[in-house]
């Protein structure tokens, strides 16, 4: 997300199987050059992803208008944050059209 000068917080289910360092190494190997600043909490009880993201936002004083969610999960998983979701594909991953949609979320008139 270099074009946005955005920081990244990992909420992917992958955070349960891999350390933050392993995830960052994987992403860098795919060409990612951004700044990963953390991950959402890992709950012992099932919880919607939107609630986990909201918990992280509350802990760090981040408002809804300052986030973009890039995920292959459906909007129903994101609850009240679904309007900030750019849904990617499990099979193709992040594509140029997803990045363009993310840019529009932060700059709707541009």
What domain range is 45 assigned to?
2-106
What is the pTM for the complete model shown? 0.81
pLDDT band at 109 (very low <50, low <70, confident <90, very high): low
Count CB neighbours of 59 within 10 A. 11
pLDDT: which is higher, 42 or 9: 9
- Pull the structure tokens for residue 2: 């270099």
Q: Tens digits of per-residue pLDDT, 57-86?
A: 999 999 999 998 988 888 888 999 999 998
Lowest mean pLDDT segment, chosen from 4-18, 54-68, 78-92: 4-18
Neighbour tally for 106: CB within 10 Å: 15
Tell me the three state secondary structure of residue 48.
coil
Is pLDDT of 52 > 70? yes
Total number of domains constituting the chain:
1
Residues 6+ apart with CB under 8 A from 105: 68, 84, 86
């Amino acid at each position: 997300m270099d074009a946005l000068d955005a920081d990244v917080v990992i909420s992917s289910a992958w955070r349960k199987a891999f350390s933050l360092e392993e995830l960052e190494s994987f992403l860098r190997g795919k060409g990612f050059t951004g700044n990963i600043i953390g991950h959402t909490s890992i709950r012992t009880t099932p919880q919607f992803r939107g609630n986990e993201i909201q918990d992280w936002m509350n802990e760090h004083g981040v408002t809804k208008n300052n986030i973009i969610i890039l995920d292959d999960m459906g909007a129903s998983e994101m609850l009240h944050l679904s309007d900030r979701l750019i849904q990617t594909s499990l099979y193709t991953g992040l594509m140029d059209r997803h990045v363009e949609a993310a840019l529009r979320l932060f700059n709707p008139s541009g």
